[in-house]
Amino acid sequence: MGAHASEPIIQVKDLSVTFSGCQALNGITLDIRRNERLAVIGPANSGKTTFLRCLNRLNDLKHDYRHTGNILLDGKDVYDSDVDVARLRRRIGMVYAVPGPLPWSIYDNLVYGPKLAGIRSRDRLDELVETSLKAAVLWDEVKDRLRMPAHNLSGGQQQRLCLARVLALEPDVMILDEPCSGLDPISTAKIEDALVELKSSHAIVLVTNNTKQAGRASDRTAFFLMGKLIEVDDTTRLFTNPTDQRTNDYLVGQFG
Amino acid sequence: MKQDRFIAFILLMLALSALSGLVLITVFIFKEGLPLILQTGFRDFFLSSDWDPKGEHFGILSMIVGSLAVTVGAMAIGAVFGLGMAIVLTQFCPPGLVSILKPLIELLAGIPSVVYGFMGVVTIVPLIRNHLGGPGLSVLAASIVLGIMVLPTVTSISVDALKAVPRAYWEGSVALGATKWQTTHMLMLKAARSGILAAIILGMGRALGETMAVIMVAGNALEIPGSPLDPVRTLTSNIALEMGYATGRHREALFATGVTLFVFIMIFNTTALAISRRSAGKGGGR
């Protein structure tokens, strides 16, 4: 896209969310820029995951979900009635905390999304499988056994497969919900490496409980606390010189 | 400790006595029925439709065909509606409505079969007679009544199978841009396939074994049906209708009918069991 790199791709405006009347998010206003990695940190129950799931409207699937405010993707409200939700979820690809490959082969896992998007050509699907596996740093490990059940892979490989599965959708934004929480340091490093490569073509939102990971693998960091956005800044500045006392307390381990 | 062992012993005896019931029934019907099959010959017993107890002709082909026709018809109706119900309950229904609908469907299982038969006679049979022709008492009428009767079996086992599919599969699929319906038919039905198959086969066993409602609506004629509008007699109806006055070889022939039924139902149930075991072993894999 010709748009300037620091221009926002997603604008969240005064977003508040309740589940059965319980406040989960409270007046979040936050821009996500093209080609940046934004980390979202904060203690448990601070609304990080809820925030992510608002972006691709996964929260819609809960019956007691209500929200106010706006989320604009390229200037268009994602909650407008004429938005194709399935297409929106392909533009904003999500990776979950627990790797959840579908009970099929590696290949079928990867082509499921593109097939839903209407891609039928064998060559095109094969090409997507290869490029997405390469981008997720998994190609060399599985290229000879694409027909093998995905469940035979190790946990770290499964999570990279889930990353590749989302990449095969060719999304504009990638949202990752604690993608490394169950992984060993080597698998974690591989996923973080993949994110560095991906940033040139995708905006990335990374929710993490691991502040060190936020420090390593993001350009900007947002700190959430009890459903509120406390502050958002360049990662180095936020980590070395936070403006809010609560951010500082969290980073030095005073609570959370 | 001593008390535990005593109670364990009592419970073991109770369990064994229930099991011995099964063994005794099996031995008894085979002992009563098998000699007649051997004397008559497999060909004359299974492949002839000449059933004339007075003339000592015992061919049950028309009843085997009748039972299978009614069962297949019942499953065509029961599987479609039961599976549809299970899909709605697990995928598309708000939880509040599920808690009302599911018990209602399970309540169907509690209605006595004679009531189903009665409903069939006063509503479905006249409908068929007036709108489609024939005597009304027919394969079609029995299929509809049985189709409704197997709904609770098919629905509740299918619901369990669909619920056993990990939530992560469903969420993964939706997050990749699948609609609920695409997720249902491309992922959920495949992942729950063996459980659903087991549900349908158990439903078939139920339909094949049902007697009272079938006697009331199937017409009980001793002929191979040429169309769904023809009356039929099933294996179960034959036993129930004639047992009251049968003696000697006639009575043995009814036990032999029972043996046939027993074998059919055993095949259905072991198939269902094998399918659900296999899927449990594979963790619902493809």
- Residue B119, in any domain of the structure: yes
Residue of B92, B97, B176 to mutate, testing the A interface (most A Cβ within 10 Å of its Cβ): B176
| Chain A residues touching B187 at Cβ < 8 A | 102
pLDDT level of residue B279 (50, 70, 90 thresholds): low
B152-211 confidence digits (pLDDT tens): 999 999 999 999 999 889 999 999 999 999 999 999 999 999 999 999 999 999 999 999
Mean pLDDT of A236-249: 91
Mean residue pLDDT of chain A comes to: 90
Q: Which domain holds residue B203?
A: 28-285
CB of A46 within 8 A of CB of A224? yes
CB of B67 within 8 A of CB of B235? yes
CA of A231 vs chain B CAs: smallest distance (Å) = 28
How far is residue B110's CA from residue B117's CA, in Å, rounded to a whole number? 14
Q: What is the DSSP letter of B284?
A: T
- Residue B8, in any domain of the structure: no
Number of compact structural domains in chain B: 1
pLDDT level of residue B147 (50, 70, 90 thresholds): very high
- Residue B186, in any domain of the structure: yes
Distance from the Cα of residue B8 to its chain's centroid: 35
Chain A within 8 Å of B181 (Cβ-Cβ)? no
Whether pLDDT at A63 is above 50: yes
Q: What is the pLDDT of residue B285?
A: 41
Under DSSP, is residue B233 helix (H, G, I), strand (E, B) or coil? coil
- Residue B15, in any domain of the structure: no
Give A66-69's long-range contacts (Cβ < 8 A, gap of 24+).
Answer: A66/A17, A66/A18, A66/A19, A67/A15, A67/A16, A67/A17, A67/A18, A67/A25, A68/A14, A68/A15, A68/A16, A69/A12, A69/A13, A69/A14, A69/A15, A69/A16, A69/A27, A69/A28
How far is residue A172's CA from residue A3's CA, in Å, rounded to a whole number? 13
Mean pLDDT of B58-80: 95
- Residue B154, in any domain of the structure: yes
- Residue B163, in any domain of the structure: yes
The verdict on a CB contact (< 8 Å) between A149 and B285 is yes
Q: What is the pLDDT of residue B125?
A: 96
What is Dmax (Cα atoms) for chain A? 55
A123-144 confidence digits (pLDDT tens): 999 999 999 999 888 999 999 9
- Residue B11, in any domain of the structure: no
How far is residue A189's CA from residue A172's CA, in Å, rounded to a whole number? 23
Residue among A61, A101, A169 minimizing CB distance to B174: A61
pLDDT level of residue A255 (50, 70, 90 thresholds): low
- CB contacts < 8 Å between A and B, how many? 64
- Residue B10, in any domain of the structure: no
Phi, psi torsion values for A252, nearest 5 degrees = -90, 0
The residue whose two tokens read 């028309």 is B62
A2-51 confidence digits (pLDDT tens): 445 578 899 999 999 999 889 999 999 999 998 889 999 999 889 999 99
pTM of the model: 0.83
The CATH number of whichever domain residue B83 belongs to comes to: 1.10.3720.10
Chain A within 8 Å of B286 (Cβ-Cβ)? yes
B3-37 confidence digits (pLDDT tens): 899 999 999 999 999 899 989 999 999 999 999 99
Whether pLDDT at A150 is above 80: yes
CA of A252 vs chain B CAs: smallest distance (Å) = 34
